[in-house]
Amino acid sequence: MTSNFSALTFASEGTIVSEHGPDPYERASYYNGITGDGDHPELVHRSDSLTTPFPKPVGRFSHIPVKSVHGVFGTPLNQVWGAVLPQIRDIIEAQKIRWSSIAPARFFTHGPPGEEEKGSLGPVVIWIGVLPGSTSPETAHDVSQEILALLRKHEVEGVVVEWREAVAQRLADSLLL
């Protein structure tokens, strides 16, 4: 008696990774730690993926990097945010992207356990939330290039555009305001 079990198992484990999208490991663990409860968002695309690879765990006692999100203060983006935010929104909406949030952020990547002081603060990020399953990495890449060009016109360099799956939640009703 023969079985196709192993062939089916291997075939179903195969994952096609987009040229502009993260692999399954990076997608699931890139934002590890930012929520505190382990329910962090999944990465769709980041504009610096070719120049800043996401580290893979290596060795027996490896760990997944832990991040925390921080505000953006005293950067060139702060000076133009009020002008570029509506334009970024318009670029996103022109592509019919179902977005839930657009915000500036910075991420601190903590050092490994016992070496937390070895952490580092990342670049300024335009952090875009999209409804789960609504935006392909290719679309996010193309729109990111438009956003980065807009920022360059305003003399803002070194910014990264990151896309995550996120669902907006109403925290208060207008009756409470």
Q: Tell me how far apart the alpha carbons of residues 54 and 43 are, in angstroms, rounded to a whole number.
A: 12
Whole-number CA gyration radius for the chain:
19
Q: Are 147 and 91 in contact (CB under 8 A)?
A: yes
Q: Tell me how far apart the alpha carbons of residues 9 and 167 are, in angstroms, rounded to a whole number.
A: 32
Instruction: For residue 32, give the nearest of 164, 169, 132, 130 by alpha carbon.
Output: 164
Q: Are 85 and 128 in contact (CB under 8 A)?
A: no
For the stretch 127-153, pLDDT in tens is: 999 999 999 999 999 999 999 999 999
Six token digits for residue 72: 């953006």
- pLDDT above 90 covers a percentage of the chain that reads 68
pTM metric for this prediction: 0.84
For the stretch 97-122, pLDDT in tens is: 999 999 999 999 998 888 878 899 99
Q: Tell me how far apart the alpha carbons of residues 66 and 32 are, in angstroms, rounded to a whole number.
A: 5
- Residue 174 pLDDT: 52
Q: Half-sphere exposure of residue 109, counting CA atoms within 13 Å on the CB side?
A: 12
Outline where DSSP puts E strands in the chain: 43-46, 66-70, 99-110, 120-121, 125-130, 160-165
Q: Is 9's pLDDT higher than 60?
A: no
